[in-house]
Amino acid sequence: MNSTSLRLNTSPIAPRRAFNGATATHGPVGLAHFVPHQKARVVLCSARPAAASSAAVVEQASDSGLARIESLSQVSGVLGCQWGDEGKGKLVDILAKHFDVVARCQGGANAGHTIYNAEGKKFALHLIPSGILNEETTCVVGNGVVVHLQKMFEEIDNLESKGVSCKGRILVSDRAHLLFDFHQEADGLREAELAKSFIGTTKRGIGPCYSSKVIRNGIRVSDLRHMDTFPEKLDILLSDAASRFPGFNYSPDMLREEVERYKRFAERLEPFIADTVHFINESISYKKKILVEGGQATMLDIDFGTYPYVTSSSPSAGGICTGLGIAPRVLGDLIGVVFEKNLLKINGMSILNRTGVKAYTTRVGSGPFPTELLGNVGELLRVAGHEFGTTTGRPRRCGWLDILALKYCCQINGFSSLNLTKLDVLSEFPEIQLGVAYEHADGTPIKSFPADLRDLEQSRVEYETLPGWQKDISSIRNYSDLPKAARQYVERIEELVGIPIHYIGVGPGRDALIYK
């Protein structure tokens, strides 16, 4: 099919399908024609939060929406369904007032969650769980997290300076591994080695720290309580890095300075250190409600993502058990965020796992991206959606929603409902496309998301085109008030994925959520 037949126009249309006619990484042909046929008008649909009244989001929700939140399982989770940046932090912030504990189970300061308080003040969190803005919530940094102490203390100081009390509200697992500055340096040196095949990491040292953990020479938080043996353990780590990377300069002075610095860190961290495995399981036995906040997303999972262009932990459902010491039988409803949430039953019990799915798809770093939009349309999505990394500030790669990847994530995590976010960002488009299937270069269908990156890069994406609504929907709070085309888009996703969408995000504020 030629590019003209795919050119976006403003005519009302029924859903239709087309192949992009090129490799999957180049997006549908003809989308570059969009901007020349219109004035370049961009609305920053999700750039600012709603007014202070947004604090009453739960109170303003429909009866069915409030009932759904209050019926969430004792242990629930928020996980990402795509390549990250789905709006998990916002959802955790909204739900936190209904939970006693909010816990991080994996990742580190490479995960950036942007949230707004009731006054519209912006907070960018990386290690501290997003439940911290709710005063009655205890926040747990679990054993599966890798902790850069300087970054964590910077976040705490920033929160305190803005009036958010952290004293007695943050627990850091004594089993969590420490991420040192040299891990970050090693991360950059490793990326430089890879040259054109670099992973595209945040260079926050996550991979090298998990590597230290797996080869069993890592240093844990509990080691800070034993400063007599700490220097020897740190020397082993630094010597290993020096032998691995010629560009890493290690000296006795470096070791001495790091030991002194971590003595100070240890003193400050002591009130936060806890046996969080015991705390979490004791909380469960006392019927406390626990919300798990995942970092990154399933398509970046070390096992299930687009390996090797993935993170170094398990941001899918399995990471909850290993990252917090929670038994699988305790888990229940899992809700996925397509840019927001999803539902799962395990052993007859419910754990809410809210994960994120945007109304379109984004990723940062290298690796295959079948529905990526290169050119003007991708840039329009990036600007309208404010798609720049919370952690690095890097521009995110943008594309149409990938249904095959979404179904794959739902299968792995066992979601039974979804939360679709950033629907408002699509309001400027006269037509919207869904990537509904992949084909091999020879035309044979690809039934599931492939492990072989060569298959993925050479595949063709089949697109289905739906009409846009070209109307600002950021102030709408009832599903029935959405334009018909917006409802058609939501319902078509439900039909293709086979999972209902219960929550729809239409902006960054706490109240910018529609309960369907």
Residues annotated as catalytic (active site), given as ranges: 85, 113, 213
- Tell me if 93 is assigned to a ligand binding site: no
- Tell me if 63 is assigned to a ligand binding site: no
- Tell me if 311 is assigned to a ligand binding site: yes
* 3-state DSSP assignment of residue 335: strand
- Tell me if 113 is assigned to a ligand binding site: yes
- Tell me if 120 is assigned to a ligand binding site: no
Could you give phi then psi for residue 79, rounded to 5 degrees? Answer: -125, 160
Distance CA(269)–CA(223), nearest Å, equals 12
Which residues are CB-neighbours of 273 under 8 A, at least 6 positions away? 171, 172, 174, 221, 222, 224, 225
Counted residue by residue, the chain has a size of 516
DSSP assignment of 59-93: HHS-HHHHHHHHT--SEEEEEESSSS-SSHHHHHH
**Are the CB atoms for 330 and 282 separated by under 8 Å?**
no
- Tell me if 362 is assigned to a ligand binding site: no
- Tell me if 458 is assigned to a ligand binding site: no
- Tell me if 407 is assigned to a ligand binding site: no
Paired with 371 in beta bridges are none
Tell me how crowded residue 156 is: count the other CB atoms within 10 A of its CB: 19
Measure Cα distances from 25 to 303, 369, 393, 454 in Å.
22, 5, 23, 11
- Tell me if 21 is assigned to a ligand binding site: no
- Tell me if 506 is assigned to a ligand binding site: yes
* 3-state DSSP assignment of residue 247: coil
Query: Cα 76 to chain center, whole Å?
Result: 16
- Tell me if 90 is assigned to a ligand binding site: yes
- Tell me if 89 is assigned to a ligand binding site: yes
- Tell me if 294 is assigned to a ligand binding site: no
**Token pair of 214 as six digits:** 């797996």
- Tell me if 395 is assigned to a ligand binding site: yes
Cis peptide before 308 (omega within 30 of 0): yes
Q: Which helix (H) or strand (E) holds 402?
A: strand 401-402
- Tell me if 8 is assigned to a ligand binding site: no
Distance CA(315)–CA(46), nearest Å, equals 25
Distance CA(372)–CA(351), nearest Å, equals 33
- Tell me if 142 is assigned to a ligand binding site: no
Which residues are CB-neighbours of 313 under 8 A, at least 6 positions away? 106, 107, 144, 206, 210, 295, 296, 302, 319, 323
- Tell me if 392 is assigned to a ligand binding site: yes
- Tell me if 30 is assigned to a ligand binding site: no
- Tell me if 397 is assigned to a ligand binding site: no
Distance CA(159)–CA(143), nearest Å, equals 23
Q: Helix, strand, coil shares of the chain as percentages rounded to 5?
A: 40, 20, 40
- Tell me if 440 is assigned to a ligand binding site: no
One-letter amino acid of 436? V
* 3-state DSSP assignment of residue 54: helix
- Tell me if 87 is assigned to a ligand binding site: yes
Distance CA(494)–CA(354), nearest Å, equals 17
Distance CA(513)–CA(503), nearest Å, equals 7
Q: β-pairing, 460-467 with 401-402?
A: unpaired
- Tell me if 310 is assigned to a ligand binding site: no
Tell me how crowded residue 63 is: count the other CB atoms within 10 A of its CB: 8
- Tell me if 205 is assigned to a ligand binding site: no
- Tell me if 298 is assigned to a ligand binding site: no
Q: Which helix (H) or strand (E) holds 319?
A: helix 318-324
- Tell me if 114 is assigned to a ligand binding site: yes
- Tell me if 112 is assigned to a ligand binding site: yes
Q: β-pairing, 401-402 with 431-439?
A: parallel
- Tell me if 96 is assigned to a ligand binding site: no
**Are the CB atoms for 133 and 96 separated by under 8 Å?**
yes
Binding-site residue set: 84-90, 110-114, 202, 216, 296, 311, 390-396, 422-424, 505-507
- In the annotated binding site for Mg(2+), the residues are 85, 112
Binding positions for GTP: 84-90, 112-114, 396, 422-424, 505-507
| Residue numbers belonging to the annotated binding site for substrate | 390-396
Numbered residues of the known binding site for IMP: 85-88, 110-113, 202, 216, 296, 311, 394
